[in-house]
Amino acid sequence: MSVVKPFRAGRPKKEFVQQVNCPPYDVISVKEAKELYKKSELSYVKVIRPEVHFPDDFNPYSEEVYLKGKENLKKFFDDGIFFLEDKPSFYIYEEIMGNLKQVGLVALFSCKEYEEGKIKKHELTREEKEIDRAKHIDILGAQTEPVFLAYRSVDKLDKLILEGTQFPKEYDFEADGVRHILYVAKDEDYIREMQRLFTELPFLYIADGHHRSQAAWRVMKWRAERNPKHTGDEDYNFFMAVVFPHNTLHIMDYNRVIRDLNALSDTEFLAKLKEKFEVETLNVKGNEAKPEMVHTFSMYISGKWYRLKAKPNIVKEDDPILSLDVSILQNEVLDPLLGIKDPRRDKRIDFVGGIKGLRELEKLVDSGEFMVAFAMYPTTMEQLFKVADHGMIMPPKSTWFEPKLRSGLFLHPLENLL
Instruction: Return the domain boundaries, the chain.
Output: 4-250+403-413, 252-399
Over the stretch 331-366, which tens digit does the pLDDT of each residue have?
999 999 999 999 988 999 999 999 999 999 999 999
Residue 24 has a pLDDT of 96
pLDDT for residue 418 is more than 80: no
| Separation of alpha carbons 201 and 203, rounded Å | 6
Residue 314 has a pLDDT of 95
Over the stretch 249-307, which tens digit does the pLDDT of each residue have?
999 999 999 999 999 999 999 999 999 999 999 999 999 999 999 999 999 999 999 99
- Residue 401, helix vs strand vs coil: strand
Residue 336 has a pLDDT of 97
Tell me the pLDDT of the chain averaged across its residues.
96
- CATH architecture, domain defined by 252-399: 2-Layer Sandwich (3.30)
pLDDT for residue 397 is more than 90: no
Contacts of 52 (CB under 8 A, 6+ apart): 30, 33, 34, 37, 45, 46
- For residue 7, the one-letter residue type is F
Over the stretch 126-155, which tens digit does the pLDDT of each residue have?
899 999 999 999 999 999 999 999 999 999
pLDDT for residue 1 is more than 80: no
- Nearest Cα to Cα of residue 322 among 274, 386, 389: 386
- pTM as predicted: 0.93
| Separation of alpha carbons 62 and 365, rounded Å | 38
